[in-house]
A = this chain, B = another copy of it.
């Protein structure tokens, strides 16, 4: 990454906050102080961009974070900025709208921008944040296609900032236990992954059902859990995909907004994955990983609440912590301390999912097996 001496200077200042006690109301600029060898107590100061439903969930979860806190807000709705500002004690100088948020580059209170706007806006918002010298945390899907995703990766590299994707399941304990079992060989050779991801979507007027904002349909929003899950569960990158689209409600799910897609992935080892993505079914949310020596299953696998797992050896029931709390604390470590997570959440990880999404849409359109580029 390119060096950014000003940002490095600010980080060193912020890092010095480890010598100070934590205050939940702390929003100011850290005082210079002792630089300890391992800077584990530094706090990542985050501006949330896009104050919708999921941002509310992130904001609440971040109240339990030890290493990340909200220090800025970006919204197109003045009333939201006022309300959130009061709730989370964000001074007016740290509140932005979409016209003026590029000036965030001059704000030393903010290390990173968490982009939680509609999918089709991630590209612009992430790149503008990067150009403002801020690390970027971007909600998934990172963008609406791989070409845009690549531009985001490039822009962040050029700006010398980190690009992370909001893959909260990468920090969820039962999920990580399955990954550990697979890595340790406890499941033997992996043969099969199954992902069922979906829900019946409500309000037909929401942005998720608007192609211009969502970039697609269920696959972008919920199917991506099975795409991403297939990769971290199997532990390989898929090389081919086949897919079949079905639409039962053309009023709710308009042109370009997928309702239900089944897709199958093939991995270099010969393992295969079978996945369902849908906006029109409840009772789903299951991951099933099958190997020659054992299996592991998570159900619920990716909902916001506790996951529940079982394997051939018994139940998985590690304690539940809000996923976004775990994610944001871990991302603080990744950004501030160069921690390496068990399962990557970087821009390349997001980009790979976008390449698969592109290939799935091509497979639906052509009815033929598609190669997934590396």
Q: A245-263: contact bitstring with B at CB < 8 Å (1 yes, 0 no)? A: 0111000000000001010
> A196 in the interface, Cβ–Cβ < 8 Å?
yes
Q: Which of B191, B266, B278, B369 contacts A281 (CB 8 A)?
A: B191
* 11 other A-B residue contacts (CB within 8 Å) besides A244-B272, A262-B264: A192-B260, A192-B281, A194-B196, A244-B369, A246-B272, A274-B274, A282-B295, A283-B294, A283-B295, A367-B368, A367-B369
Quick check: is A312 within 8 A (CB to CB) of the other chain?
yes
B244 near A264 (CB under 8 angstroms)? yes
Nearest CB of B to A212, in Å: 26
Identity of the chain B residue whose Cβ is nearest the Cβ of A248 in the assembled complex: B270
Query: A272–B246 Cα gap in the complex (Å)?
Result: 8
Copies of this chain per assembly: 2
Residue ranges of A at the interface with B (Cβ–Cβ < 8 Å): 191-192, 194, 196, 200, 242, 244, 246-248, 260, 262, 264, 266, 269-270, 272, 274, 276, 278, 280-284, 290, 292, 294-295, 312, 367-369
Bound state CA distance, A102 and B291, in angstroms? 48
Residues of B within 8 A of A196 (CB): 194
Please give, as numbers and ranges, the residues of chain B lying within 8 Å of A368 by CB-CB distance: 367-368
Q: Which residues of chain B have C-beta atoms less than 8 A from A282's C-beta?
A: 290, 295
Of the candidates B191, B242, B244, B312, the one whose C-beta lies within 8 Å of that of A266 is: B244
6 A-B pairs whose Cβ atoms sit less than 8 Å apart in the complex: A191-B278, A191-B281, A246-B266, A248-B270, A262-B274, A284-B290
Contact B294 A290 (CB under 8 A): no
Q: How far is the CA of A142 from the CA of B99 in the complex (A)?
A: 69
Asked if residues B272 and A260 are in contact (CB atoms below 8 Å), the reply is yes
Q: Which of A272, A281, A295 has the most CB of B within 10 A?
A: A272
User: What 5 A-B pairs come out closest when comparing CB atoms?
Assistant: A248-B270, A283-B295, A191-B281, A262-B264, A246-B272
Q: How far is the CB of A240 from chain B (nearest CB, A)?
A: 9
Identify A290's interface contact among B191, B266, B283, B295, CB under 8 A.
Answer: B283
A192: chain B residues at CB < 8 Å are: 260, 276, 278, 281
Tell me the smallest distance from the CB of A177 to a CB of chain B, in Å: 17
Expressed in whole angstroms, the minimum distance between the Cβ of A372 and any Cβ of chain B is: 14
